[in-house]
Amino acid sequence: MKKINNSVIALALFVGITNANAQEKRTLTLDEAVQLGILNSKNLKIDAAKIEEATADLLEAKNKQLPELKVSGSYMYLPIKPNINIKLPGVSGDGGPVVHQVAYGSANLSVPIYSGGRIKYGIESAKYLVEASKLSTENDKVAIAYNVAQAYNNLFKANQSIKVLEENLTASQKRDETFLKMENNGIIARNDRLKANLQTSNIELQLLEAKNNYNIANINMDLLLGLPETTEIDVDQNYIEEGNDVKSVDYYINTAKENRKDLQALDKQRLAAALGTKAAKAENLPSIAFTGGYVAADIPKFLTLYNAVNVGVGISYNLSNLWKENSSLKQSKAREMQLEATNELLNDNIKLDVNREYQNTDYSRKRIAVFEKSAEQANENYRITKNKYDNGLATMTELLDADAAQISANVGVINAKADAALAYRKLLQTTGTLTTK
């Protein structure tokens, strides 16, 4: 029996050591977490593909200014004798040669000279769209930075709540031991001791909830940062001191106008749309190209043709443009109008966002002072109530209520500071400077 117990203990120790090794702990500052989140973001990988797509469109536009060289060839076997009637003077049309096969080939070269600006405008428009894609990626980086900060903040708050609740649970359990002794000595009633036990149970439930929230927040952070799900992240609480040097709201509005990448991306899209309108107008103009070609043919016992080279200039014009309305032009102008309205709306939204987050930041900072005052009052109230209870001047219910209020107030101070730091980062996000802070 003793050997079995020793084996169980050894197995338990082995499992414990294995779990400890599997649970990697990593300390990260908020800025380090943001950089890691950006590096491993799935959304940014999608954005990178969009940039590649826009770059391919630019390459396609540039290819249109390069020469076109097409080569074709064919070989045909004629199983049935064809009827050949030659109309040349002095040559008999009947009884000509028997033809069973034909081979011919050709090469055609076309070099664009003038296309009404369609090629040039297409290239410039594609360049702007590539820049717009890159700016959109930068804007997504700012959004990702805030998402990571929000997750980091949730992890910090959950961790701090656990620490406060564990401290209070230890104190409550010691108090339960004291009250049990007092009950056994007939100093307090059993009902009062049970009230204290109920308070301890409530703290245990709060602690379980806090740990559950912490585990969920930790897994969320692991996924955001591209870390193994078993990684336990140890946060650095120094970030809660951010936001003490908040400037005027006009400063942040002007900063947003200069740095918002979505606004800059929209400007590039508007420039591309303007060039699209020019390209659409150019569809009503003719195209001119330098042309050249080479033809060779071989019909055994009948015709052989080599070195048939031709050069010239080709002009192409769609006469239906004279009576058809240019739908591409109308679509492009409509696109310009949409982007212009979108630009106005975005500017209004930027002003609203900055003002809202500025007010939220100011509100969050003021909340800290209120919570600190409440915590100070709650701690003092508990001290006084505890003194009264020890002297028989307060009930057990009053003591437990004072203790619960003290716990809530102390957790509230921590959460208020964390929320204020996050609100400041949200303000920086609205200005487009969160990733450059």
The class that CATH gives domain 32-68+115-286+326-436 is: mainly alpha
HEC string for the chain: CHHHHHHHHHHHHHHHHHHHHHCCEEEECHHHHHHHHHHCCHHHHHHHHHHHHHHHHHHHHHHCCCCEEEEEEEEEECCCCCCCCCCCCCCCCCCCCCCCEEEEEEEEEEEEEECCCHHHHHHHHHHHHHHHHHHHHHHHHHHHHHHHHHHHHHHHHHHHHHHHHHHHHHHHHHHHHHHHHHHHCCCCCHHHHHHHHHHHHHHHHHHHHHHHHHHHHHHHHHHHHCCCCCCEEEECHHHHHCCCCCCCHHHHHHHHHHHCHHHHHHHHHHHHHHHHHHHHHHHHCCEEEEEEEEEEEEECCCEEEEEEEEEEEEEECCHHHHCCCCHHHHHHHHHHHHHHHHHHHHHHHHHHHHHHHHHHHHHHHHHHHHHHHHHHHHHHHHHHHHHHHHCCCCCHHHHHHHHHHHHHHHHHHHHHHHHHHHHHHHHHHHHCCHHHC
Question: By the 8 A CB rule, do 119 and 112 touch?
Answer: yes
Q: What six digits make up the tokens of 358? A: 């500025």
What share of the chain has pLDDT > 70, as a percent? 92
Please tell me the predicted confidence (pLDDT) of residue 437: 67
Cα(400)–Cα(385) distance, integer angstroms: 9
Please tell me the predicted confidence (pLDDT) of residue 93: 55
Please tell me the predicted confidence (pLDDT) of residue 5: 43
Using one digit for the tens of pLDDT, what is the confidence trace for 16-71? 444 444 568 888 988 899 999 999 988 899 999 999 999 999 999 999 888 998 99
Q: Comparing 241 with 312, which gets the higher pLDDT? A: 312
Centroid of chain to Cα 435: 13
For 127-162, b where at least 16 C-beta lie within 10 A, e where not — what string?
bbbbbbbbbbbbbbbbebbbbbbebbbbbbbbbbbb
Kindly tell me the burial class for residue 5, based on how many C-beta atoms sit within 10 Å of its own C-beta (0-12, 13-18, 19 or more): exposed
- Find which of 97-111, 337-351, 394-408 is predicted with most confidence, using mean pLDDT: 337-351
Using one digit for the tens of pLDDT, what is the confidence trace for 265-313? 999 999 999 999 999 888 888 888 999 999 998 888 778 888 889 898 9
Centroid of chain to Cα 275: 29
Q: Which residues fall within 8 angstroms of residue 398, CB to CB, at 6 or more apart?
A: 385, 388, 389
Domain ranges of the chain: 32-68+115-286+326-436
Q: What six digits make up the tokens of 125? A: 């428009």
pLDDT at 102 over 50: yes
Model confidence at 400, in pLDDT bands (50, 70, 90)? Answer: confident
Using one digit for the tens of pLDDT, what is the confidence trace for 59-98? 999 998 889 989 999 988 888 877 777 666 665 555 567 7
In one letter, which amino acid is 301? K
pLDDT at 322 over 50: yes
Q: What six digits make up the tokens of 271? A: 């420039």
Measured from the Cβ of residue 197, the count of other Cβ atoms closer than 10 Å reads 16
Q: Which residues fall within 8 angstroms of residue 302, CB to CB, at 6 or more apart?
A: 84, 96, 97, 99
Model confidence at 239, in pLDDT bands (50, 70, 90)? Answer: confident
Please tell me the predicted confidence (pLDDT) of residue 96: 62
pTM attached to this predicted model: 0.78
Q: If you count them, how many residues does the chain have? A: 437
Kindly tell me the burial class for residue 18, based on how many C-beta atoms sit within 10 Å of its own C-beta (0-12, 13-18, 19 or more): exposed
Measured from the Cβ of residue 319, the count of other Cβ atoms closer than 10 Å reads 7
Cα(274)–Cα(293) distance, integer angstroms: 38
pLDDT at 8 over 60: no
In one letter, which amino acid is 88? L
- Find which of 155-159, 321-325, 400-404 is predicted with most confidence, using mean pLDDT: 155-159
- Find which of 198-212, 224-238, 356-370, 378-392 is predicted with most confidence, using mean pLDDT: 356-370
Question: By the 8 A CB rule, do 54 and 129 touch?
Answer: yes
In sign, the C-alpha dihedral spanning 407, 413, 414, 420 is positive
Question: By the 8 A CB rule, do 328 and 280 touch?
Answer: yes
Question: By the 8 A CB rule, do 155 and 221 touch?
Answer: yes
Model confidence at 139, in pLDDT bands (50, 70, 90)? Answer: very high
Average pLDDT along the chain: 86
